[in-house]
Amino acid sequence: MRRVVTGRDATGRSVFVDDAPIDPILTELAPGTEWHRLWGGDVPPTLPADGTPPDQPRYFPPPGGYRFGLFTLAPDSAPRPVVADPAAARAEIDRQLPGMYDFNERDHPGMHTTPTVDFDLVLSGEIWLELDDGEERLLRAGDCVVQNGTRHAWHNRSDQPCTLLVAILGADAPPERA
């Protein structure tokens, strides 16, 4: 993955600020799954901008914040590791993807609800989207979904990885139901 960033110099002229590869984030608990955090901020952007990456300390944005990235999910059939130290593996995720697993449900692995509006576009592969009541939809390359703060889980039941382009907008949301 290569990211090219533009901005404006001190005279207001358009310039290339950065052109570099973005390494995927990999974790022990999710082998074959990759996250590319490409851009984001915790407040709405303002222009003109010099191209300096905004602060985005947590994976999911607060109200008014935004995230842009790629997410590749390994097939469900991919071998799962035996994790010798689950606490260390969770600490690794919290360090590399702060807040990512804060919304996951312990009693239903993969199911989560975030206070965000997510725009997800399947770039390659296919993936099943499961909602609250177990209803599912199959999404293939070219399909998109708009998640409006809904409880959901992703399942890759194919034998190939699935890559999604994700744009996530932080939203005001009431406290979760009990």
Domain ranges of the chain: 25-170
- Pick the closest to residue 34 from 118, 91, 97, 86 (CA basis): 97
Greatest pairwise CA separation for the chain in angstroms? 56
CA 16 – CA 14 distance, rounded (Å) = 7
CA end-to-end span of the chain, whole Å?
40
Q: Where are the beta strands (DSSP E) in the chain?
A: 2-8, 14-21, 34-41, 66-73, 116-124, 126-131, 136-140, 144-148, 152-155, 162-170
CA–CA distance from 35 to each of 26, 94, 164, 177, 178 (Å)?
7, 13, 10, 29, 30
**pLDDT tens digit string along 1-57?**
999 999 999 999 999 999 999 999 999 888 889 999 999 999 999 999 999 999 999
CA 113 – CA 169 distance, rounded (Å) = 14
- Look at 82 and 170; give whichever has higher pLDDT: 170
pTM for the whole structure: 0.90
**What dotted CATH number matches 25-170?**
2.60.120.10
- Dihedral angle computed from the Cα positions of residues 94, 100, 101 and 103, in that order, rounded to the nearest 10 degrees: 140
3-class secondary structure, 3: strand
**pLDDT tens digit string along 88-141?**
988 999 999 999 989 989 899 889 999 999 999 999 999 999 999 899 999 999
Helices and strands of the chain, counted as H and E runs: 1, 10
